[in-house]
Amino acid sequence: MNFSGAGDGQKVLVSMDRIDKSFPGVQALADARLELRRGEVHALVGENGAGKSTLIKILSGAHAPDSGTIAIEGKVRHIRSPIDAQRAGVAVIYQEFNLVPMLSARENIFLGREKAKLGFVSRKDERRHVEELFARIGVSIDPETLCRDLSVAQQQVVEIAKAISIRARVVVMDEPSACLTLQEVERLFNIIRDLKKHSIGIVYISHRLEEIFEVADRVTVMRDGKYIGTRSIEQVNISELIEMMVGRTIENEFPKVKASIGEDRLVVENLCRAGAVDNVSFSVRAGEVLGLTGLVSAGRTEVARLIFGADARDSGRILLDGKELRISSPREAIAAGICLLTEDRKAQGLVGALSARENFALPNLARWSCASFIRQKKERSVFAKYIEGLRIKVADQDQPAGNLSGGNQQKLVLAKWLESHSNVVIFDEPTRGIDVASKYEIYLLINELAAAGKVIIMISSELPEILGMSDRIIVMHDGRISGEITDVADATQQHIMELAIA
Amino acid sequence: MSRFATNYGMLGVLLLICVYYSVRTIEDQHPTGKPAAKFLAGQICASGVESAKVVIAIRRTEDESLFAETLKQLLEKNNIEVVDTVTGSPLDMRNALNQLIDNGRTVNILATVHGNAGVLENIKEKIPALSEAIILVPESHRFPTFLLRKNLLNVMNQIAVIAIVAVGMTMVIITGGIDLSVGSLVAFSAVAAAWLIRRAGGGEASATAVTGCCIAAIVLCGLVGAFTGTMVTRFTIPPFIVTLAVMQMARGLAFLISEGQPIHQIPDSFTWLGRGAEPLFSIPYAVILMGIIYLAAHVMMSHTTLGRYIYAVGGNSEAARLSGVRVYVILVLVYTLTGLLAGVGGVVMASQLKSGAPTFGDMYELYIIAAAVVGGASLKGGEGKVFGTLIGAFIIAVNNNGMNLTGVKSYNQYVVLGAVILGAVLLDTLKKRK
């Protein structure tokens, strides 16, 4: 193996070599490898489907490799189950945390290895231990707080504390910053730097390339299940990384094409919902892309849900093309020509048990049913066009939607709403957890929709995306609009952050 | 093809159980009725005895009367003399035969069914004049009792009520709910129908009146279902609790209306639905009704928007709502349909038993749920096929019938039934896990 980077003084912590893994019909990994050194932050990047998750799951014992070796601190280990991994000193913090919501932070940290005498748990000892841990990390969380009452960032801290407590030598973080605000991300980085000082090796998986440049020491790129290369962070730049990830150069990350903008189409007046949205008013014109941003609980999704009728509004009016809309359910919103692509596509965007085709058809059945009898042939042919046009990867139309990859699920959701021919399209975090190539395709689609004179509201936490694709930006804070930016070309991330924190 | 196997894999289990009981119930079948007569006529004619003088001996049952009539017709058509037909108890037969002998008639063939052969042997010994006569019975053959058409049709008729209500239960389970009240609703419907019929003339009630009363009972149960659905949606009370409460109330109402006694003032003609069969293949009308309901339900679930919405609500009701599905309406509809089907079940049962009693449908909800779950419906929701439930119902019915035929004691039957249900679901779970 040939790794560039620092010299021999650093000991190798984890060495994964020649890892192969296949699932029925798919070769997930072919000759993949990873080398992690003590005290380093090693980023792992690649498009969706590149194999990052599978490689990590092999390290954590969730999958067994078909062939290849894993060595931890020089010794070859046979990791066949999560317990083997834990014994080998590997801790993984997944995107969906492994915490029991109804138990306290302390109970979760000691889950499975309680400090107990004759079966009676010694709460005092555990509590002391947890308080010391939290102090070391630099957070003040009451160990007795139930995990369901903790914020996402706090839950993540509990997971990290758990990893330290079990004396993990290797901590893997899978998209740790996905649900965090900028401040919380900073705090996370501080924790990571502290872990480094204690010679813990960290594998950091993220789609946010700018973050990687801030926190990582080296980066490994994977593509199509194969190892592409490892670089020291000082010796590489973003476009080189993207080129390695995608296999080609992507010229323009945000292919924004300004559509001809017409009159006001969607007008929102004095929207209120107790505890979430406070007197929000704005308007969007035909062909315009309105970027809606702010911190995680600023109320952006809540505004979208009010417009879509998913939640009941306490007061306020919604007008589309001059007419006031009485919307009290998503059904009525869809009938009025409004659609919402939800933030959480698995839990809210798709019915996992139904097939891809049935999900696609759900809001659109009226188009190809006669007296409530579904004309399946027509349904198949319409869906086939979208599969081709959006390049959705499905084994066949009847594959359960829950089995598709994240990017394909998002494309399926897109197809569903495109077919509804809505005039107002609200995207809530449209490119979260999606590979670079698919992101690009979604941006092109947004351009097309704008060119057709539709109204687009794009909610996003990724400021480069907001700046790259919006015609106008509204920043929210605490349920209220804190600012509007009409001159996007001259706007900066700094400016938006100031409005978001205000 | 593999999707068919996943959805209807229980068919294999059903076939296995059928094969098992077929093998275990192979025994000598002694024909009666028309087919027996044809056999015997053939035998007698083939023996070429032109000078045969035949006496047909039978007991006073419908089957044997039919046998005697048919045999007489066939023999006379072939110019064989039928001296007489003697009917009744062994004593009656003996007296009648003595009478014939005393009147100077000669008898050289005694034709009967297998069951009476022993009796005739005895009579032969006692009447010297008959010592030369031969006793002829239709040949028996070995065949599984289980597979006799009469038995299979009986099995289907017995499970009809449970199977019909199970259609509704399947839909409820697909939406992630459960309905424990169906057994009580069967009783409630039967009692309500019987009570109304009694008021409309009892045993003398006209066909229209009876039909009207039945429809009223069914509609009433539908309303109860709508009430259940409203409680579940509007007040978000778990279906288990709501239907538990309705189960008690419906059973109580059934007892109240009937004052604790079965109501039997029902016209005889009403039993056509529960006991009658169509003339061509003798398929019971209740079974035909069951078939129609299943076909309609299958078409609805697989080919209509309503079916799609039911699966969507069961798979992920929030995602369904956000895609424009009227979740509340679908749920209320599903519980209403189940109520209606329980109502139909009660009417069929009243027709089968020619009465309406508050004790009907006891524990039926368990068998109905078992039929749906064995048939592949998942209690988590989102999965299940209507025809799968039919297979599940058949598995239960076939197993019970088989155990009866093979003489399994009734206490043991409970244990076996429970084991079969658990085994079937276990098999299904393991298969799906692959």
pLDDT tens-place string over residues A356-370? 999 999 999 999 999
Which one of B311, B323, B326, B328 makes the best mutation probe of the A interface by having the most chain A beta carbons within 10 Å?
A: B323
| pLDDT band of A280, cuts 50, 70, 90 | very high
State pLDDT tens for residues A83-107: 889 889 999 998 777 889 899 999 9
Burial state string for A189-208 with b = 16 or more CB within 10 A and e = fewer than 16: bebbeebbeeebbbbbbbbb
Distance in Å, alpha carbon of B316 to nearest chain A alpha carbon: 5
Q: Which residues of B touch A364 (CB under 8 A)?
A: none
Please, which residues bridge with residue B40 across strands? none
CATH classification number, B31-139, choose in 3.40.50.2300, 3.50.50.60, 3.60.20.10, 3.90.1150.10: 3.40.50.2300
Predicted pLDDT at A434: 77
Q: Which residues of A touch B312 (CB under 8 A)?
A: 351, 354, 358, 362
Predicted pLDDT at A137: 81
Distance in Å, alpha carbon of A366 to nearest chain B alpha carbon: 8
**Token pair of B262, please?**
């079965």
How many CB atoms neighbour CB A449 within 10 A? 20
Q: Please give the average per-residue pLDDT across A264-272, as a whole number.
A: 94
CA triplet B276, B278, B281: central angle to 5 degrees? 125
| Distance (Å, whole) CA B431 – CA B9 | 9
Predicted pLDDT at A252: 64
Predicted pLDDT at A178: 74
In this complex, is the C-beta atom of A403 within 8 Å of any C-beta atom belonging to chain B?
A: no
Q: Which residue has the tokens 């999965």?
A: B383
For residues B351 and B274, is the Cβ–Cβ distance under 8 A? yes
Domain ranges of chain B: 31-139, 146-433
| Distance (Å, whole) CA A67 – CA A279 | 60
Inter-chain residue contact A347 with B318, CB threshold 8 Å: yes
Q: Please give the average per-residue pLDDT across A41-56, as a whole number.
A: 84
Q: Look up residue A345 and give its DSSP letter.
A: I
Q: Residue A374 corresponds to which amino acid?
A: I
In 3D space, the residue among A218, A221, A176 whose CA is nearest the CA of residue A201 turns out to be: A218
* Whole-number percent of chain A with pLDDT over 90: 45
Q: Please give the average per-residue pLDDT across A454-470, as a whole number.
A: 90
Give the residues of chain B that fall short of pLDDT 50. Answer: none
Q: Which residues of A touch B380 (CB under 8 A)?
A: none
Strands A90-93 and A170-174: what pairing?
Answer: parallel
Predicted pLDDT at A42: 96
| pLDDT band of A1, cuts 50, 70, 90 | very low
| Distance (Å, whole) CA B289 – CA B293 | 6
- SS in 3 state form for A92-160? EECCCCCCCCCCEHHHHHCCCCCCEECCEECHHHHHHHHHHHHHHHCCCCCCCCEHHHCCHHHHHHHHH
Q: Please give the average per-residue pLDDT across A189-212, as a whole number.
A: 89
Strands A26-37 and B26-29: what pairing?
Answer: unpaired
| Domains detected in chain A | 14-89+169-246 (3.40.50.300), 101-167 (no CATH), 264-501 (3.40.50.300)
Q: Is B267 helix (H, G, I), strand (E, B) or coil?
A: coil
Give the one of A347, A350, A373 whose C-beta lies nearest to B303's C-beta: A373
Q: Which residues of B touch A335 (CB under 8 A)?
A: 324
Give the one of A348, A353, A373 whose C-beta lies nearest to B322's C-beta: A348
For residues B330 and B236, is the Cβ–Cβ distance under 8 A? no
Inter-chain residue contact B382 with A361, CB threshold 8 Å: no
Q: How far is CA B397 from CA B14, B163, B190, B286, B417, in A?
A: 10, 10, 22, 15, 10
Which position has the higher pLDDT, A110 or A239? Answer: A110
Q: In chain A, positions 314-333, which contact chain B (CB-CB < 8 Å)?
A: 329-331
Give the one of A331, A340, A342 whose C-beta lies nearest to B326's C-beta: A331
Predicted pLDDT at A3: 47
Strands B26-29 and B141-144: what pairing?
Answer: antiparallel
| Distance (Å, whole) CA B359 – CA A144 | 54
Q: Residue A458 corresponds to which amino acid?
A: M
With residue B166 as reference, give the H or E element that holds it.
helix B149-174
For residues B403 and B22, is the Cβ–Cβ distance under 8 A? no
Distance in Å, alpha carbon of B385 to nearest chain A alpha carbon: 13
Distance in Å, alpha carbon of B144 to nearest chain A alpha carbon: 43
Please, which residues bridge with residue A246 across strands? none
Inter-chain residue contact A353 with B311, CB threshold 8 Å: yes
Q: Which residues of B touch A341 (CB under 8 A)?
A: none
Predicted pLDDT at A40: 94
Inter-chain residue contact A363 with B324, CB threshold 8 Å: yes
Predicted pLDDT at B42: 81
Which one of A340, A354, A364 makes the best mutation probe of the B interface by having the most chain B beta carbons within 10 Å?
A: A354
Predicted pLDDT at B431: 74
Predicted pLDDT at A7: 47
Q: Which residue has the tokens 């998942």?
A: B378
With residue B400 as reference, give the H or E element that holds it.
helix B386-405
Strands A90-93 and A26-37: what pairing?
Answer: unpaired
Predicted pLDDT at B280: 81
Supply the ipTM of this predicted assembly. 0.80
In chain A, whose CA is at the least distance from the CA of B301? Answer: A373
In chain B, whose CA is at the least distance from the CA of A363? Answer: B323
Q: Which residues of A touch B174 (CB under 8 A)?
A: none
Inter-chain residue contact A351 with B320, CB threshold 8 Å: yes
| pLDDT band of A9, cuts 50, 70, 90 | very low
Inter-chain residue contact A349 with B319, CB threshold 8 Å: yes
Give the one of A353, A361, A374 whose C-beta lies nearest to B315's C-beta: A353
Residue A324 CB-density burial (10 A; 0-12 exposed, 13-18 middle, 19+ buried): exposed
Predicted pLDDT at A338: 96
| pLDDT band of A333, cuts 50, 70, 90 | very high
What is the average pLDDT score of chain A? Answer: 87
Inter-chain residue contact A348 with B318, CB threshold 8 Å: yes
Residue A228 CB-density burial (10 A; 0-12 exposed, 13-18 middle, 19+ buried): middle
Q: Please give the average per-residue pLDDT across A52-75, as a whole number.
A: 89
How many CB atoms neighbour CB B181 within 10 A? 29
The CATH architecture of the domain made up of B146-433 is Orthogonal Bundle (1.10)
Q: Is A22 helix (H, G, I), strand (E, B) or coil?
A: strand
In this complex, is the C-beta atom of A373 within 8 Å of any C-beta atom belonging to chain B?
A: yes
Q: How far is CA B359 from CA B183, B193, B197, B250, B363, in A?
A: 10, 15, 18, 11, 10
**Token pair of A200, please?**
């813990």
| Distance (Å, whole) CA B214 – CA B193 | 5
In 3D space, the residue among B382, B372, B170, B330 whose CA is nearest the CA of residue A359 turns out to be: B382
In chain B, whose CA is at the least distance from the CA of A360? Answer: B323
Q: One fold for both B31-139 and B146-433?
A: no
In chain B, whose CA is at the least distance from the CA of A353? Answer: B315
| Distance (Å, whole) CA A12 – CA A218 | 13
CA-CA-CA-CA torsion sign (A344, A347, A350, A353): positive
For residues A100 and A147, is the Cβ–Cβ distance under 8 A? yes
Under an 8 Å CB criterion, which residues of B touch A?
Answer: 3, 303-306, 308, 311-312, 314-316, 318-326, 382-383
The distance of Cα A202 from the centroid of its chain, to the nearest Å, equals 20
Inter-chain residue contact A310 with B321, CB threshold 8 Å: yes
| Distance (Å, whole) CA A407 – CA A433 | 8
* Beta carbons within 8 Å of B69's beta carbon, 6+ residues apart: B37
Cβ–Cβ pairs < 8 A, chains A and B? 75
Predicted pLDDT at A251: 58
| Distance (Å, whole) CA B189 – CA B341 | 10
Which one of B7, B322, B432 makes the best mutation probe of the A interface by having the most chain A beta carbons within 10 Å?
A: B322
| Distance (Å, whole) CA A391 – CA A407 | 11
Give the one of B311, B319, B382 whose C-beta lies nearest to A350's C-beta: B319
Q: Please give the average per-residue pLDDT across A400-418, as a whole number.
A: 87
